[in-house]
Amino acid sequence: MNAARTTAWSERSASERPLRVLMIDSETTWRGGQNQLALLLRGLREHGVQARVAAPRNAAVLSSADMQGFESVPLRMRHGMDVVAAARLAQHLRRERYDILHCHSSHAHSTAFLATWPARLGEGKRRDRPRLVVSRRVAFPVSRYGPAALKYRNADLFLAISSGVRDVLVDAGVNAAQVTLVPSGIDLEELRSKRDSQRVRRELGIDPATSVVGTVAALTTNKAVHDLVRAARFVTEQVEDLRVVIVGEGPARRDLEGLVARFGLQERVMLLGFRSDVLDVLSTFDCFVLPSRVEGLGTSIMDAQVLGVPVVATRTGGIPDLVEDGDSGLLVPPGAPDLLGGAIVRMLRDPGLRARCCERAQRQARRYDYRNMVQATLAAYRALLGAAP
């Protein structure tokens, strides 16, 4: 980092300097959380906020931040309570002044908690310490005991992406007054640009008259894409001309391939892996399915709704914030592939239901603009700083 720029950034008087935020993320891959971080950086810059990104050197989000002109702080976080990473972060914080440390992953939260713990213990002496903000994007339960409980009880503010995530935090003992609901956002302009679904169908060898049911998800246990494969056995018996398209990569891919082979669905189910044209692929779907057993919110549902693709999903986590059963989509209990298959068949066979769900989903999609997420985050920062000692 340029030394002159660093000195100028840290030594301006409080009256003339803008809000300063250090975004911290431990993940190296690019998933939904990293996309949200990139959108947040873009939006905060428009409001005059000075932000930097601390992440591992090989992190995809660090490359994205560099390309957008944001200063970076390489920080390797190898596990939850990485004292080496915490010591390096603490050293950086002694050189630089930030108003907010905003953590975007669990390991990032742990690292920032350890790095700021001495200042928190001496709060009477360190009234200028940065406030610790944590974005919580997953609905996994949080332990009430041990180191995890300690770090969750010592953040200044949590930004929960859904009511389901907020409930998990409060159930774990986090003060409800320290949890603010800030739903994820998407770039509506990008979503509404022209999509080449015909090209995708030609590439995949899918006839225009063939029904396509699909999902876009990381291939992990909590996304439960295997439930979609199990449901496909029933759906293919009911809908003769059908393809099931799965976009995404992850550790469960081999098991999914085995399940497809065991059910004899090789001609019906297509695992496409990672796609850079994921929105073009999504636009080919006649029904989007998210079979998650645990889900923070589900921005892929938001994408589908904006594109006019009807949604079938599970009633878990934050999904009911996006889908009202029978109104803007269909919901089934998680872990019930037979019910999932029935809902898919119902959606494909009922044109009136599809039209109603798409119309109402697109109407509510106006609130998904990422600028709303940015505004809510900025308001939360300012409220927290205004309440600070």
Q: With contact defined as beta carbons under 8 Å apart, do 343 and 330 qualify? A: yes
Q: With contact defined as beta carbons under 8 Å apart, do 242 and 213 qualify? A: yes
What pLDDT does 268 receive?
96
Q: What is the pLDDT of residues 360-378, one digit of tens each?
A: 999 999 899 999 999 999 9
CA distance 353 to 356: 5
Task: Name all domains of the chain by residue range, CATH numbers in brackets.
Answer: 3-185+370-387 (3.40.50.2000), 188-367 (3.40.50.2000)
CA distance 111 to 85: 6
CA distance 298 to 209: 29
What pLDDT does 245 receive?
98
What pLDDT does 122 receive?
59
Tell me the pLDDT of the chain (389 aa) as tens digits.
Answer: 444 444 444 444 444 579 999 999 999 999 889 999 999 999 999 999 999 999 999 999 999 999 999 999 999 998 777 899 999 999 999 999 999 999 999 999 999 999 998 766 655 445 578 999 999 999 998 888 777 778 888 899 999 999 999 999 999 999 999 999 999 999 999 888 888 899 999 999 999 999 999 999 999 999 999 999 999 999 999 998 999 999 999 999 999 999 999 999 999 999 999 999 999 999 999 999 999 999 999 999 999 999 999 999 999 999 999 999 999 999 999 999 999 999 999 999 999 999 999 999 999 998 999 999 999 999 999 999 986 54
Partners of residue 36 on adjacent β-strands = none
pTM recorded for the entire structure? 0.88
CA end-to-end distance (rounded Å), the chain: 32
Exposure on the CB side of residue 159, measured as CA atoms within 13 A: 28
**Residue the block writes with tokens 């199990």:** 230
- 222: Cβ contacts below 8 Å, ≥ 6 apart: 140, 292, 293, 294, 295
